Amino acid sequence: MAGSRTCVDPRRFRRRLMRRSRVPVRGLLAGLLLWMGLVLLAPFALAQDGPDYTAWSRVASRAEESVATGRASDDALEALRAQIVEWRQQFLTAQGPNADRIATLQGQIASLGPAPDTEAGAAPEAEDVAARREELTRQLAELRAPVQAAEEAYSRADGLIREIDTLIRERRTDRLLSLGPSPLNPTRWPEAGAALGGTMSEIWREAGEARRSASVARTLRDRLPVILLLLVGGLFLIVRSRGFVSRIAEVLRNRARRGDPVWAFLLSLGQIVLPLVGVLLVTVAVQTAGLSGGRLGALIGALPAWAASLLLIWWLGEQVFSGNDAVATIPIDTGRRPEARLHVAILAICMVAHGIVQTFAGLDDYAGDTEFLIEFPLVVIAGVTLFRLGHLLAGLRPDQSDEDVEPMFAHRVVRAIGKATMAVGIVAPLLMAIGYGAAALALVYPTASTLFLLGLITVLQRFIYDLFDMASKGDRAGRGALIPVLAGFAVSLAAIPLLALIWGARVTDLTEVWARFQEGFTVGDSRISPTDFLTFALVFALGYGLTRLLQGALRTSVLPKTRIGAGGQTALLSGIGYVGIFLAALIAITSAGVDLTALGYVAGALSVGIGFGLQNIVSNFVSGIILLIERPISKGDWIEVGGQQGYVRDISVRSTRIETFDRTDVIVPNSDFISGTVTNYTRGNTIGRVIAPVGVAYGTDTRKVEKLLEEIARAHPMVLENPPPAVVFRGFGADSLDFEIRAILRDVNWVLSVHSDMNHEIARVFAEEGIEIPFAQRDVWLRNPETLTRKAPEEPATPKVEPVSRANPPSSAAKGEEPT
């Protein structure tokens, strides 16, 4: 079968190899570099001249014919799509010029007012005005003509791109869902063996011819020292470098010094770089010997990519499932980590073997069924390995010292990934066995590549945390800081395009997403692009910073020198902040080129929603504005509202924060202050009254008590002399004569301390003067005490107890009882 293909066209082979090769690392790196190149160089590759609509018409007609017939190959459609993308970008650029002039003309026409409707009987406008309107309309039409042509061509190009994408996706879907013969059918095995054996025979034949070639022998004689040096150096790096680097990295990790994990990680990269350099040296040595043509040369040329894939995946397995807990990013049981590393190595070998099979298929144009027959054992091995590795991940449990601690979110994600991997390990071999070979290959190897990509993300995130630990002088508590978390999140976001490429997305799909992002979206007559977003962010940030700067200057330099109170200063600063932020947003929107009139309909719809669904929020907002303007309460006031007392600590447009005397914060909606009753103890001044009640025994000289209490009140330093304190004889209580001290204090915030001081002084003075402060006393009399000494009957009677005042005890002679 393959014996008839004794020579291979290198250019044809490279095209087939690039089309069929699916080595994950090489494909990901190529896609990433292409995506970055398109992102960085696309703005500079646009033509500045106007589009050639004649040439575009020919390209568009050819594309429409290709899509209609459906006979073009995927490669031809991709090339045609790339041309149309360039044209579309030119048409988008052509819509921008003269935009300012068009806006100016539209404003001039609008300033002339609407044209009078002469058919309805309106008077015609003046001749000069009509002539001016006609001239402006003509100029506007001339300027709008190229823009309208570019818009029409852009719409056509965009539609063709979508049609081509749809056709390619449908073809790929058909290939994935196509059912072929089952690889379990033994009658198909000889065909696959013959194809594979034919390729190997051709490679061996080419190697034999190279050995017998006089030119190769002459090259070996001439370059033997260089070839030997390359071979020896390459083999040494391949065999010895990994172990050497691993031992040094382990020594650094075990020293537990600040920065050692970072250096150990960087040094561990030598386990990839040094052996890969060795493979490159061996490859160069073989190519220097003259073995660079045909199938053998193609395999030797692909060897570095396969080695890079194998070394990278192997290194990831040792990092993710390291025996060192400080290095491992997925902390499964220590005893199962060697098994996990073994499964990762097996997957790496399967993926490299898959790349080799794809290369063989590209060399000799295997039929799809033959390729799937050869791939079947690899898919079965990879499926079993994925199932075992997924089982290890699904069994992950967080290391909890406290039973009440919930498992971390990352652990739950890893368990979910493990369960999905187990499912793929079962489903993919079954699909291949049934005959869905393309679907099985599109499932098992992307799953393995996804696991490796996720492992790489965890390793990079750990490296970022180690860097932050080193920068923060070894404070590992800083791992939860904002900077490393955001950096780790950025790494995860950057992996999304690679993940899309792994699962079958084309590079053109990513470039299309970027193109859509660059184009922006349309609001009314305005198109908002990423540049507009950037302009809005910069202008708003500048306005916000100037507002805060003005507030700070007023707070520290201007307002303290005025007679405005603390509450007024707070209200003024808050008002300046709200107005400044509003103006900054308004100026930023205008600078970004957004037509605010286009938002009128949206604002009208929002006003209806606000009127019905956001009544409380709007009520609190308006109440907050009223509070800031009227200032019935200010920051620092002692108030009482809704049964809560405390000091006002902050007033915002929605709510007010009150700090109670228990040092707790109470958030009160502003509408409660406007619609409810509020007591402000310190509004305007801090003068307040204290009331200290006291009772004396009956028979005490009331004038003397009044005089003593008045002296006590006047003696306190917090009591004002004007108005003077007063002593009130409230009345005759049940057990005492009731008096009250009523005094005005300089600062009502000290009312509790003053009250306590007065009580202490009253107790001291009354004790010196022999004045008794009575307290209620009660005697208990038993109506039938004899029941306590009698033998209890079957149902003993409960003695009745009555409280009797000592001042009026019952007569013992009348009751015949003794008081107890």
What does the pLDDT look like over 361-389, one tens digit per residue?
Answer: 877 777 767 888 888 999 999 999 999 99
Instruction: Say how many residues make up the chain.
Output: 820
Rounded to whole angstroms, how far apart are CA atoms 300 and 295? 9
Using DSSP, state whether 614 is helix, strand or coil: coil
Q: What share of the chain in percent tops pLDDT 90?
A: 18
Distance from chain centroid for Cα 371: 43
Rounded to whole angstroms, how far apart are CA atoms 817 and 820? 9
Question: Strands, DSSP E only, in 456-525?
Answer: 521-523
Residue with tokens 């056709």: 167
User: Kind and range of the H or E element at 312?
Assistant: helix 294-320
Say yes or no to pLDDT of 450 above 90.
yes
Rounded to whole angstroms, how far apart are CA atoms 691 and 727? 10
Say yes or no to pLDDT of 44 above 80.
no
- pLDDT confidence bin for 429, thresholds 50/70/90: very high
User: Kind and range of the H or E element at 397?
Assistant: none
Neighbours of 520 (CB within 10 A): 15
How much is the average pLDDT of 681-703? 88
How much is the average pLDDT of 100-120? 79
- The answer to whether the Cα torsion of 427, 432, 434, 436 is positive or negative is positive
Q: What is the CA radius of gyration of the chain?
A: 45
pLDDT tens digits, one per residue of 130-164: 888 888 888 888 888 888 888 889 889 989 988 99
Least trusted range by pLDDT, from 54-63, 97-106, 318-327, 767-776 = 97-106
User: Rounded to two decimals, what is the model's pTM?
Assistant: 0.64
Q: How many CA atoms lie within 13 A of 79 on its CB side?
A: 6
DSSP-assigned letters across all residues of 532-562:
HHHHHHHHHHHHHHHHHHHHHHIIIIIGGGS
- The answer to whether the Cα torsion of 66, 70, 75, 81 is positive or negative is positive
Say yes or no to pLDDT of 621 above 80.
no
Segment 728-737 long-range contacts (CB within 8 Å, at least 24 positions apart):
729/702, 730/693, 733/695, 734/776, 735/695, 735/774, 735/775, 735/776, 736/695, 736/696, 736/697, 736/698, 736/773, 736/774, 737/695, 737/696, 737/697, 737/698, 737/700, 737/702, 737/705
DSSP-assigned letters across all residues of 707-722:
HHHHHHHHHSTTB-SS
Q: What share of the chain in percent tops pLDDT 70?
A: 81
Residues 637, 567: contact at Cβ < 8 Å? Answer: yes
pLDDT tens digits, one per residue of 179-228: 888 888 888 788 888 888 888 888 888 777 777 777 777 777 777 888 88
How much is the average pLDDT of 795-815? 44
Say yes or no to pLDDT of 817 above 80.
no
Per-residue confidence (pLDDT) for residue 14, from 0 to 100: 44
pLDDT tens digits, one per residue of 249-288: 777 666 666 677 788 888 888 888 888 998 899 888 888 8
Structure tokens at 557: 């330099």
- pLDDT confidence bin for 174, thresholds 50/70/90: confident
Question: Is residue 376 left, alpha or beta, with left meaning phi > 0 and alpha meaning psi from -120 to 50?
Answer: alpha
Print burial letters for 87-111: b (CB count within 10 Å at least 16), e (below 16).
bbbbbbbbbeebeeeeeebeeebee
Domains of the chain: 46-116+125-177 (no CATH), 523-613 (no CATH), 688-769 (3.30.70.100), 779-815 (no CATH)
Rounded to whole angstroms, how far apart are CA atoms 104 and 111? 11
How much is the average pLDDT of 504-518? 79
As a whole number, the mean pLDDT across the chain is 79
- Looking at per-residue confidence, does 622 or 259 come out higher? 622
